[in-house]
Chain A
Amino acid sequence: MMDYNTVCFLLFGVLFIGFLLLEGFDYGAGMLLPYLGETDAERRAIIRTMAPVWEGNEVWLIAAGAFLFAGFPGAYATLFSGMYLALLLILAPLILRGVAFEFRDKDERREWRNFWDWALFAGSVIPAVLWGVAVGNLLEGLPIDARMQYAGTFWDLLSLYTVASGVLFALLFLLHGATYLTLKLGGEISARTRRLGMALTRLALPAALVFAVLTHVVAGLKFVTGVALLSAVLAISAVNLGLKGRHYLRSFVFSGLAVAAVSGAVFAELFPRIIVSSLSPEWSLTIYNSASNRLTLKIMSITMAVVFPAILAFEGWKYYVFRDRISPAGIEFEPLGTALANGIQELRGRIKQACCLADAMSCVIRALRGNDGRVINRLKHRHKVLLLGKGTKKTEPDE
C-alpha cells in the first residue's frame, strides 16, 4: 500500500511531465518560428497552431508548482530559493512569450511583429534549455547543506551532465514541435517541417544515448530508469520512421513519448528523493523530510483524483475542437473569408427585403385589379411590420 507521500510525488510527477509533454511542443514550435516561418502568413500559421492551446499547456506548470508547494513545501522552498537566478532566467522570457501571443497581431508594422516573434523565440528556447538543466541538476545533486539550504552559486548549476540534459531537452522539444507542426500545418510548409523533423531525430538520438551513459556515470542507472531511457531512444527512432512513412499523428505521439520517457526516467531515478544533496546523502530532500503533514497530502491526493479526469477530458475536447490543419494560404485569405461571410449575411438581408417588396407589389397589383381600396390589409402581417414598423395591428386579410 502506497502512502500519501508517494502518491503525491507521483501526482507531482504527472503534472510536471504533463507540462513538459504539452508545453514541450509549443516551446519547440516557438523555437522553430523564425527559422520555418519565412513569410508573415507562415509565421501567423505557426503561431495559430499554438494560440488556442498554449495557455492550457502552461497551466500544467502553474499546477505543478502549486502542487509542489502544497505537498512538499520544504523542497519547493529549497529548490526555488537555491535556483534563484536560473528561475528568473526562465520566468522573464516566459512573461514576454505569453503576451506575445496576444500582442503580435495587433499592429501591422514589421518591427513590431519581428520583436514579438523574437520574444516568442527567446521565450521558448531559454526555458526549454533551462528546464533541462534544472531537471539534470535534481539528479546530479545540488550542494544542499544540513539545514536543507542551497549552499552553491548560479555557476554550480552548470556541469557537463546538466548541460547535456539541457541540450537533450531542447532537442526533444524541437523534435516534438516539429512533429506537431507537421501534423497541424497545411501546404508546402508542412513538407519542410517534416524534413526538418527527420533531421532532428538524427541529432536527438545520439544526444539521448549520451544522456543515458552520463546518467549511468553520475547516478548509477536503476533498472526502471534504464528501461525508460531505452524507450526514449526507441521512441525517437519511431518518430523518424513515422515521418518517413507520413504517419504524422503517430510521429507526434512518439515524440511526446520520448519527452515523457526521459523526464519519467529522471523522476524514477530520483524516487524517493526530490532533491539529491551532493554534499551528503543524508541531507537529500526526500518525499518524507520535505513533505506537508498527512492531512494536506491526503486532501491533495483526493482533489487530484477527482479533478484530474475532468481536466484531461476537457483539454482533450479542446484539442478535438481545434483539430483542423492550418495553412498559411488559409490565413492569408482569412480577411477575405470574413468579408465574404459578412457580404453573404448582408445579401440575405437584402433578398429578404426584396421578397417582401415583391410580395407587397403583388398584393397592390391584385388589389388594384380587384378594385379594393384597402390594399394594405392584404399584406402578410410580418411584411406589414417590416414596412410600417412594430405598432401595426394584426388583422385578418379579408378574402
Chain B
Amino acid sequence: MDNTALLLARIQFGVTLTYHFLFVALTLGLSVMIAMMETVYVRTGERLYKAMARFWGKLFLINYAVAIVTGLVNEFQFGMNWAEYSRFVGSVFGPPLAFEALTAFFVESVAIGIWVYGWDRVSRRAHLAAIWLVALAANYSAFWILAANSFMQHPTGFAFRNGRLELADLGALINNPYLAYQYSHTVLSGLATAGFFIMAVSAYYLLRREYPDIFRRSFDVGLRWALVATVLVVGTGHFYNQYIARVQPMKMAASEALWETAAPAPFVVFALIDEDTRKNSYQLALPAGLSMLAFNAVNTQVRGMNDLEREFAVRFGPGDYVPPVTLLFWSFRGMVAIGLWLFVLAALCAWYWHKNELEAHPPLLKAILWSLPLPYAAVTAGWMMTEAGRQPWLVYGLLLTERGVSKVVPAASVWTSLLIYTGIYAGVALAALYIARRIIRAGPGGEL
C-alpha cells in the first residue's frame, strides 16, 4: 500500500460526494416545494399552480437524474477504494445504506416515474401522492445516509468484536445525538438552497417582466422557505457546532485555528495560518468570542490543537492528529459568511415583498440572481468542514483513514477511475447546465 493510492482515493471520495450532494441538496428542498405547489393545484383546481409544478418539475428532474446516477458510484466506491474500511465497519455501516435503498429508494424510484409520466394516467390525488412520496422519500433517505455518516463522526451502537466493529444496538445508532444535529442542519440547508434557487430563477423573469403571474407566486414560495430555512440553518449550525466542541474538540479547534489552549478563548475573525510551525503568523480576534460561542460562558477554557494532539498521542499512540487547518478555517468562515449574507438578502426581499415594492428594486433582484452559486458554495464548505475535519480518522477514534483504504488496488487504477469520473462528471454537469438554461430560457409558456 502506498500513499499515492490513499491520497487519490481521498480526492476521489471528496470529488464524487461533493458533486453528488450539490445535486441532492436541491432535490431535498425543491421536491417539497413542488409537492406544495401541486397540492394547491389539486385543492383549488387553478391551472397556474399546475404550470408552476410542471415548470419547476422539469428543472427538478434534471437534478434528480444526476443525483441518482452519481449516488450509484458512491455506493460502489466504499468497496472499491475503501475495502478495508468496509470489512471493518460493514456490519454497522451497511444496514443504514441497505435501509436507505430498501425503503426510501424503492418508493422514490417508483413514485418519480408515476409523477413524470403519469399526469393523465392516474387520478389527480394519486399523482399528488406520488410527488409527496418523492419528497418524503428523498428527505427520509437523507436520514439513513446521515445516520451512516454520523456513525463515522461519532460512533454509537457498536461493539468491538472479532477485530472489527459489529452492530450491537440499532436504537443507539439511530439515536446518535450527532445525527439529530447533522440531519436538521443538512435538510434545512437543502430547503434554503431550493428556496434561493426558486428565487433566483423567478428574479430572472421578474427582471424581464415575463410570466409575472407564475413567477410572483413562485418567488413568494421560494422566499418564505428561504427565509425560514436560512434562520434555522444558522441556528442549527450554532448548536451543531457547540456539540462538535464537546465530541470532536479537534475539529472545532482546527476550524477556529486555535493552536494553544486558552481561557477565555478569542474568536479569530481572520488569520494567516502556518500549519508547519503550528501557529498563526497574524490574526485578528475578538476576545472571549469563542468561549462564548462554543460554551455560552465567557471564561470557559477552550482546548487548542497542540494540547489535543498530546492527548491523542497518549490515547492512540504517536501520530499526526491535526486535520487540514487552513481548509477548515476558511470553509467554516465561508459557510458562516454566506449563511448570514443569504439571511440578509432574504430579509430584505421579505421586507420589500411585504411592501409590494420588490419589482421596483432591480438591484435586489439582481443580487438574488448573482447569489445563486452561494448556497452551493456553502453546502460544499459544510461538507469540507465535516469530512476533512474528521481527519485523520475514518471512524472517529476507531479507524485511521490510512487503514481503511483498499490493499489490492494499485494507484494506477485509482488514477484511471479518478480521471474517468471527473471527466464524465464534468461533461454531465455541463450538459445539465446547458439543459437547465434552455428550460429556463424557454419559460413555462408551453404549460399555460
Give the B-binding residues of A (Cβ under 8 A).
48, 51-53, 55-56, 58-59, 61-63, 65-67, 69-74, 76-82, 84-85, 87-88, 91-92, 94-99, 101-103, 106-107, 149-151, 292-293, 295-296, 299-300, 303-304, 307-308, 311, 314-315, 318, 321-322
- Residues of chain A within 8 A (CB-CB) of B64 are 102
Which of B61, B80, B109, B118 contacts A58 (CB under 8 A)? Answer: B109
Pairwise interchain contact A102-B62, C-beta atoms closer than 8 A = yes
Docked complex Cα distance between A380 and B71 (Å): 59
> What chain A residues lie within 8 Å of B75 (beta carbons)?
62, 65-66, 69
B65, A99: Cβ atoms under 8 Å?
yes
Note all chain B residues with C-beta closer than 8 A to A292: 90-91, 94, 166-167
Residue from A85, A149, A314 in contact with B416 in the complex, judged by beta carbons closer than 8 Å: A85
Return chain B residues, CB-CB under 8 Å to A80: 76, 78-80, 83, 86
Q: Does B116 contact A (CB under 8 A)?
A: yes
Can you name 13 A-B pairs with beta carbons within 8 Å? Answer: A63-B105, A66-B100, A66-B101, A69-B90, A73-B91, A76-B79, A76-B86, A77-B83, A85-B416, A95-B424, A103-B65, A292-B167, A315-B106
Q: Do the beta carbons of B110 and A56 come within 8 Å of each other?
A: yes
When distances are taken between beta carbons in the complex, the residues of chain B under 8 Å from A107 are: 435, 438
State the B residues within 8 Å of A (CB).
61-62, 64-66, 68-73, 75-76, 78-81, 83-84, 86-87, 89-95, 97-103, 105-107, 109-110, 112-114, 116-118, 121-122, 161-162, 166-168, 170, 406-409, 413, 416-417, 420-421, 424-425, 428, 431-432, 435, 438-439
Check if B87 sits within 8 Å of A314, measured CB to CB.
Answer: no
**Given that A63-B105, A77-B83 are known contacts, is A88 also in contact with B417, CB under 8 Å in the complex?**
yes
User: Which residues on the B side are within 8 Å of A151 (C-beta)?
Assistant: 408
Q: How far, in Å, is A370 (CB) from chain B's closest CB?
A: 38
Q: Which one, B113, B416, B417, contacts A52 given CB within 8 A?
A: B113
The 4 closest A-B pairs by CB, nearest first: A73-B90, A80-B79, A70-B94, A98-B69
Chain A residue with the shortest CB-CB distance to B169: A295
B122 near A91 with CB under 8 A, answer: no
* Known contacts A77-B86, A78-B83, then 20 further A-B pairs from the complex at CB < 8 Å, ordered by chain A residue: A58-B109, A66-B97, A67-B101, A69-B90, A70-B90, A70-B94, A70-B95, A77-B83, A77-B406, A79-B79, A81-B407, A84-B413, A88-B420, A95-B70, A98-B69, A103-B65, A106-B438, A299-B167, A318-B113, A318-B114
Indicate which residue in A53, A55, A79, A322 contacts B68 across the interface (CB closer than 8 Å).
A55
Contact residue among A55, A84, A304 (Cβ-Cβ distance under 8 Å from B112): A55
Given A151-B408, A318-B113, residue A293 in contact with residue B98 (CB < 8 A): no
CB proximity of A199 to chain B, nearest CB, Å = 31
Q: A63 with B80: in contact, given A91-B73, A150-B408 (CB under 8 Å)?
A: no
In whole angstroms, what is the CA distance A51 to B109 when docked? Answer: 11
Nearest opposing residue in chain B for A152, CB measure: B408
**Which chain B positions have C-beta within 8 A of A79?**
79
Which of the residues B79, B121, B409, B424 comes within 8 Å of A96, measured between beta carbons?
Answer: B424
**How far is B319's CA from A197's CA once the two chains are assembled, in angstroms?**
64
Q: Which residue of B lies closest to A76 (CB)?
A: B79
**A88 and B90 alpha carbons, distance in the complex (Å):** 21
* Other-chain residue from B69, B79, B94, B168 in contact with A81 (beta carbon distance below 8 A): B79
Residue of A at shortest CB range from B66? Answer: A99
Residues from chain B with Cβ under 8 Å of A318 in the complex: 110, 113-114
- The answer on a CB contact under 8 Å between B107 and A314 is yes
Q: Are A149 and B408 in contact (CB under 8 A)?
A: yes
Residues on A with C-beta less than 8 A from B438 are 106-107
| Least Cβ–Cβ distance between A333 and chain B, in angstroms | 15
Give every chain B residue within 8 A of A81 (Cβ-Cβ): 79-81, 83, 406-409
A69/B65 in contact, CB under 8 A: no
In the complex, the answer to whether A149 meets B407 with C-beta atoms within 8 Å is yes
Quote the shortest CB–CB distance from B418 to chain A (angstroms).
Answer: 10
Complex Cα distance, B65 from A308, in Å, reads 25
How far is A92 from B416 in the complex, measured between Cα atoms in Å? Answer: 11
A106 contact set on B, CB distance < 8 A: 62, 435, 438-439
> If the complex has contacts A63-B98, A95-B73, are A314 and B66 also in contact, measured as CB distance less than 8 A?
no
Partner of B90, one of A55, A77, A95, A96: A77
- The answer to whether B61 and A102 have CB atoms under 8 Å apart is yes
Contact A71 B117 (CB under 8 A): no
**Which residues of the other chain, A, contact B407 by a CB distance below 8 angstroms?**
81, 149
The answer to whether B101 touches A62 (Cβ under 8 A) is yes
Alpha-carbon distance between A149 and B66 when the two chains are bound, in angstroms: 33
Cβ-neighbour of A76 out of B90, B114, B118 (below 8 A) = B90
Q: Which of B78, B113, B406, B417 contacts A56 (CB 8 A)?
A: B113
Residues B110 and A315 in contact, CB atoms below 8 Å apart: yes
Q: How far apart sit A91 and B81, CA to CA, in the bound complex (Å)?
A: 14
Nearest Cβ on chain A to B166's Cβ, whole angstroms: 4
- Across-interface contacts of B406 in A (CB, < 8 A): 77, 81, 84
Contact A295 B167 (CB under 8 A): yes
Q: Which of A71, A81, A293, A321 has the most CB of B within 10 A?
A: A81
The distance in angstroms between the C-alpha atoms of A315 and B112, with both chains bound, is 12
A70 to B116, CA, bound (A): 32
Q: Contact at A71–B65, with CB atoms within 8 Å?
A: no
Within 8 Å CB of B84, what residues of A? 77
CA distance A300 to B94 in the complex (A): 10
Report the minimum CB–CB distance from B230 to chain A (whole Å).
30
Give A48 to B121 CA distance when docked, in angstroms: 14
Kindly report which residue of chain B lies nearest to residue A151, judged by CB atoms.
B408
Across-interface contacts of B70 in A (CB, < 8 A): 95
Q: What is the bound-complex CA distance between A69 and B106, given in angstroms?
A: 18
For residue A130, give the distance in angstroms from its CB to the closest CB of chain B: 13
- Please, which residues of chain B bring their CB within 8 A of the CB of A52? 113-114, 116-118
Question: Chain B's nearest CB lies how many Å from the CB of A60?
Answer: 9
Chain B residue numbers with a CB within 8 Å of A307 are: 102-103, 106
Closest B residue to A98 using CB positions: B69
Contacting residues, chain B, for A65 (C-beta < 8 A): 75-76, 79, 101
> Is there an interface contact between B166 and A296, defined as CB atoms closer than 8 Å?
yes
Kindly identify which residue among A95, A103, A314 contacts B72, using a CB–CB cutoff of 8 Å: A95
B421 and A92 form a contact (CB under 8 A): yes
**Contact A69 B86, beta carbon cutoff 8 Å:** yes
Q: How far is the CA of A307 from the CA of B70 in the complex (A)?
A: 25
Residues of B within 8 A of A92 (CB): 420-421, 424
Q: What is the bound-complex CA distance between A103 and B429, given in angstroms?
A: 11
Residues of A within 8 A of B93 (CB): 69
With contact pairs A65-B75, A77-B86 given, residues A322 and B121 touching in the complex (Cβ less than 8 Å): yes
Is A296 within 8 A of B421, CB to CB? no
In the bound complex, residues from chain B placing their C-beta under 8 Å from that of A72 are 90
Q: Smallest CB–CB gap between B95 and chain A, Å?
A: 5
> Are B409 and A66 touching (Cβ within 8 A)?
no
Closest to B407 in A: A149
CA distance A79 to B69 in the complex (A): 21
Partner of B65, one of A63, A94, A101, A321: A101
Which of the residues A74, A77, A102, A300 comes within 8 Å of B95, measured between beta carbons? A300
Question: Do B114 and A82 touch across chains, with their CB atoms under 8 A apart?
Answer: no
Q: Which residues of B contact A51 (CB under 8 A)?
A: 113, 116-117
Most buried by A among B80, B122, B428, B439: B80
A96 vs B429: C-alpha distance when bound (angstroms): 11
Chain A residues lying within 8 Å of B79, measured Cβ to Cβ, are 65, 69, 76-77, 79-81
